[in-house]
């Protein structure tokens, strides 16, 4: 039984060489490629996300961890049968109008890509209309809105409202996240879901995309 702890720890420490060694070891012992990604690499990155949230890790360390995780994923990608890494669905992600925070959003985007979604990252300070345009142009199934400031939370509601006004609300699922966001707030503004961390966001997107496919 492969122990994913050392691989996760190597990701947390941003240790490229150790990540490479552990991923190769897992590959050589015929561990399921998706388990290597989900339990080892993303498992480590989730810890990084939690530590970042409580100021136990800082941006340079998070980026080192993200690079180490991506390097591990590149090693595993060729083993995924039938392009499992691609085209589960398209997610439009961005930090809402007035907010310039992007580390949490970037982590979510990266993890969604790692688990097989096409991610269109619009960046930060994104107006509601820009989300709508991107959803239309890219045939996006999910809009993922991020906010770190309480003052920009209302921009999430504006984005939901504009999706209704523009007639695309029935075609997209809208999820929200960020430090001040709660499930209660998501319900209040009419979003389809809330995720407290990057792993939760990936699970939520998977659930919503599956539901849409079943319609």
What are the pLDDT digits (tens) for 156-178? 999 999 999 999 999 999 999 99
- Quick one: what percent of the chain has pLDDT higher than 90? 66
- Residue 81 banded pLDDT, cuts 50, 70, 90: low
Mean pLDDT to the nearest integer, 168-197: 96
> What are the start and end residues of each CATH 1.10.1240.10 domain in the chain?
4-83
**3-state SS, residue 118:** strand
Topology (CATH level 3) of domain 90-214: Rossmann fold (3.40.50)
pLDDT over 80 (residue 76): yes
Per-residue pLDDT band for 192 (boundaries 50, 70, 90) equals: very high
Residue 199 has pLDDT above 90, yes or no: no
Q: Are 12 and 44 contacting, i.e. CB atoms less than 8 angstroms apart? A: yes
Q: CA 21, CA 27: separation in Å to the nearest integer?
A: 10
pLDDT band at 198 (very low <50, low <70, confident <90, very high): confident
pLDDT for residue 82: 52
Domain limits, CATH 3.40.50.280, in the chain: 90-214
Mean pLDDT along residues 59-76: 88
- 38 backbone φψ class: left, alpha, beta (φ>0; ψ -120 to 50): alpha
| 167 CB-contact burial (10 Å; exposed 0-12 / middle 13-18 / buried 19+) | exposed
Residues 110-125, mean pLDDT to the nearest whole number:
87
Encode 143-156: b = buried (16+ Cβ within 10 Å), e = exposed.
bbbbbbbeebbebb
Is the pLDDT at 184 greater than 70? The verdict is yes
Contact by Cβ (8 Å): 125, 156: no
Q: What is the CATH number of domain 4-83?
A: 1.10.1240.10
* 46-66 pLDDT per residue, tens: 888 788 878 898 878 988 998
Q: How far apart are CA 187 and CA 196, in angstroms?
A: 14
Question: Is this model's pTM higher than 0.85 or not?
Answer: no
Average pLDDT, the chain: 91
């Amino acid at each position: 039984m492969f122990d994913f702890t050392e691989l996760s720890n190597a990701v947390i420490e941003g240790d490229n060489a150790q990540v490479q060694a552990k991923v190769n070891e897992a590959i050589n012992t015929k561990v399921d490629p998706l388990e290597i990604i989900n339990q080892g690499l993303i498992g480590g990155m989730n810890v990084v996300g939690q530590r970042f949230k409580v100021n136990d890790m800082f941006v340079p360390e998070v980026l080192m961890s993200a690079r180490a995780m991506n390097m591990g994923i590149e090693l595993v990608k060729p083993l995924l049968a039938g392009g499992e890494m691609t085209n589960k669905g398209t997610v439009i992600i961005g930090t809402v109008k007035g907010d310039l925070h992007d580390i949490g959003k970037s982590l979510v985007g990266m993890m969604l890509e790692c688990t097989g979604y096409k991610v269109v990252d619009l960046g930060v300070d994104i107006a509601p209309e820009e989300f709508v345009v991107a959803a239309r142009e890219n045939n996006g199934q999910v809009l993922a809105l991020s906010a770190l400031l309480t003052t920009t939370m209302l921009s999430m509601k504006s984005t939901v409202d504009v999706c209704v006004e523009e007639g695309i609300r029935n075609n997209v699922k809208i999820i929200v996240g960020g430090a001040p966001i709660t499930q209660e707030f998501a319900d209040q503004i009419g979003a389809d879901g809330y995720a407290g961390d990057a792993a939760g966001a990936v699970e939520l997107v998977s659930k919503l995309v599956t539901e849409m496919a079943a319609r």
